[in-house]
Amino acid sequence: MNKPLHDNTATMIEMIKVSKGYPPDVVALKDVSVSIDSGEMFFIIGMSGAGKTTLLKLLCSMELPSTGLIEIGGQAIHTLKGFKLARLRQKIGVAYQDFKLLTDRTAAENIAISMEVSYKKPQIIKNRVRNLLEQLDLADKHDTITGELSRGEQQRITLARAIANSPTMILVDEPTGNLDATTTERVMRLLTNCNKAGATIVIATHDQSIYRHTSHRVMELRKGQLHSVARGTSR
């Protein structure tokens, strides 16, 4: 596990009255305020177009909010530039809804990328990649070009790449959209283990099976606005 992003407070993510608009007149998020603790597993649900992906893109600073404040580990992310921003991004693992895999590279190469940029030893990378592929039932795809994999397989490689370097914060967009029930359980077991090891995890999903019986908090967005935040079991 990487060093924590901060030492003196239990809050990992603070969003205060965050809005995000896209030209000409799309309001993707409106006045969303939420605080997520360090070490929390947190679900974001809502209909298609509700703003789930937009929210994750703001948290990894792929996009900037139109108004409002976002702090990660006590740092206002809009103030970070250059080296400081790069350092923050290294501690965040993102599994994108549209995967963003290098489709002409193998599964193993895609997963290794985040570890290579942080100069991990080749043997450590090799072992970690094999271990993740095994946990995700993809051991036989180690040397397969990801462009040749099924969507469900690509989705799992995307997740493996996001968590390979044991990031402090993991953002996951629809991790189980293309998966059967057994593989969904595998994916959730892996994410739960990352969470138990200390990672803060935010999952955007439509898949009721992964949040219906959870004891973690579930936030519902409706048309870009926060509708409710509740414990999964009390829903």
Ligand X SMILES: Nc1ncnc2c1ncn2[C@@H]1O[C@H](COP(=O)(O)OP(=O)(O)OP(=O)(O)O)[C@@H](O)[C@H]1O
Which residues are at the interface with ligand X (CB under 6 A)?
Answer: 22, 26, 28, 46, 48-54, 97
Q: How far is the CB of 170 from ligand X (least distance, A)?
A: 17
Part of the chain binding Mg ion (CB under 5 A), chosen from 92-100, 107-115, 119-127, 147-155: 92-100
Shortest Cβ distance from residue 171 to ligand X (Å)? Answer: 12
Q: Is the Cα dihedral 73, 131, 133, 127 positive or negative?
A: positive
Would you give the distance in Å from CA 107 to the centre of its chain? 19
Nearer to ligand X, 165 or 184 (CB): 184
Bridge partners of residue 219, in order along the sequence: 44, 229
| Among ligand X, Mg ion, none, residue 28 binds (CB under 5-8 Å by kind) | ligand X
- Rounded-to-integer distance, Cα 174 and Cα 172, Å: 6
Rounded CA-CA distance 40/173 in Å is 16
Applying CB under 5 A, among 53, 110, 146, 176 the residue interacting with Mg ion is 53
In angstroms, give the least distance from the CB of 22 to ligand X. 3
Q: How far is the CB of 23 from ligand X (least distance, A)?
A: 7
Q: Shortest approach of Mg ion to residue 105 CB, angstroms?
A: 25
Cβ distance to ligand X smaller for residue 49 or 74: 49
Nearest CA-CA partner of 215 in 191, 231, 197, 196 = 231
Closer Cβ to ligand X, 55 or 111, answer by number: 55
* Chosen from ligand X, Mg ion, none, partner binding at 46 (C-beta under 5 to 8 Å by type): ligand X
Distance CA(219)–CA(50), nearest Å, equals 12
Stretch that binds Mg ion, among 3-11, 89-97, 153-161, 184-192 (CB under 5 A): 89-97
The residue sitting closest to Mg ion, measured at its beta carbon, is 53
Please identify, using beta-carbon distances, which residue of 107 and 210 lies nearer to Mg ion. 210
List of residues contacting Mg ion (CB under 5 A): 52-53, 97
